[in-house]
Amino acid sequence: MATAAPESHLRENPYAIARQQLANVAETFGLDDRLVSVLSECKKSVEVSIPTTLDDGRVRAFTGYRVTHNIARGPSKGGIRYHPAVTLDEIKALAMWMTWKCSLMGLPFGGAKGGVVCDPRSLSRSELQRMTRRFTSEIINEIGPEKDIPAPDVGTDSSTMAWMFDTYSMNKGYSVLGVVTGKPLTIGGSLGRDAAPARGALFTLEAALGKQGRTLDGLAVVVQGFGKVGSQFASIAAERGAKIVGISDSSGGAHDANGIDVAAALAHKRDGGSLADFGGGERITNDELLALPCDALVPAALEQVVNEDNADAVRASVVVEAANGPLTPAADDILEERGVLILPDVLANAGGVVVSYFEWVQGLQEYFWKEDEVNAQLNEIVTRAFDETWATRSDRSTSMRLAAYGVAVQRVAEATVTRGLYP
């Protein structure tokens, strides 16, 4: 039994967008065409079939991917995504963006990404475990602590990583802590990893507000996507004084100009409810949410939610890309022309990979850090990357996105030139 491809949320080919972004960086920063030809291609793409026995005895063959974009600066690193609309080109784009993200943060990693075409919400926990273990077995020769290190992404979590870690380790005959990150604490995970993507986005926003002489106190924030990253961002931001005026999930959203009770919304979601039936605010659609008046809009779900059709409706002064690629290039242009400050995904969405790096290091050393140490180091790395991006933006009179990509791509290009081509 094979799975049918659902309608995709993608309006444009994300890999084409990623390659065009690289071309824009090359033109602005004067990169050699030969380097661009290397960096615009993914080093390796693997597609596998994942036959899985379902609880009712049927067998379903899922399709899985693992893509490595670049390893010039170290082993590749990137999440595993379970979503019904996963495509190879989407995974290639995400792998390329991971390369720039790791480079911008100064991490000794290249970029990779993986995915399985499935709806994890329609599968039981035992079915997910069987599928994950078979997927790990199919890509076992592609991953490893010194080769390619997976992590959680959309539709996956610490349990997924535990199953991958165990499957890999059982095949090797000993526990290999560094093969994946985002593991549960009981088997070598890191304190602070779960909230790291949200904290990284918040640290980026705070750094930007500091340049404008503002703080989080009383800041009106709209969060699109109330999953792992969005809900944690809303919760932490509210604790630090921000006013969360709008939240949404796939069912719809809620709006309250006086501030939503984020703790109540989280409790409602934990009890199995959706934001469409959450009583704490006016019920609105996702399109209406994007158009709410606010200081900061935080897209924290899937790609391309802000595009040429709705960018004009955005009324935020700052957009924080807590998701990967939530703005299309056309939306970028529209918002930049209006003077909206865009904090790009390779900067604002990098908290997860930074603390994944910390987890990888802790696993190799078998020495684990305190949570305040993790958060302090995360803040230092993200703030440093922001300052480097802000300085490049000022020097080049360009956008934050082009500046961030410029810093990142030049580092990878330099590593590529230094290493040379083999043979």
Q: Which residues pair with 62 in a beta bridge?
A: 50
Please confirm whether the linkage preceding 423 is cis (ω < 30° from 0).
Answer: yes
The residues assigned a catalytic role are 113
Give the list of residues 6+ apart from residue 249 with CB closer than 8 angstroms, or none.
Answer: 225, 226, 227, 269, 274, 275, 276
Question: How far is the C-alpha of 380 from the C-alpha of 294, rounded, in Å?
Answer: 28
Q: Would strands 220-224 and 110-117 be described as parallel, antiparallel, or unpaired?
A: unpaired
Burial of 4 (0-12, 13-18, 19+ CB in 10 A): exposed
Domains and CATH numbers, the chain: 14-173 (3.40.50.10860), 196-348 (3.40.50.720)
Residue 382 CA neighbour count, 13 Å, CB half: 32
Single-letter amino acid code for the residue at 253 = G
Using alpha carbons, list the distances in angstroms from residue 325 to 23, 226, 239, 375: 17, 17, 27, 25
Question: How far is the C-alpha of 71 from the C-alpha of 129, rounded, in Å?
Answer: 30
Q: Are 301 and 327 in contact (CB under 8 A)?
A: no
Q: Phi first, then psi: give them for residue 226, nearest 5 degrees.
A: -115, 40
Q: Are 295 and 317 in contact (CB under 8 A)?
A: yes
Q: Which residues pair with 43 in a beta bridge?
A: none
Quick one: pLDDT at residue 250?
87
Quick one: pLDDT at residue 3?
47
Quick one: pLDDT at residue 53?
98
Considering the entire predicted model, what is its pTM? 0.94
Low-confidence ranges of the chain (pLDDT < 50): 2-4
Quick one: pLDDT at residue 7?
64
Neighbours of 266 (CB within 10 A): 16
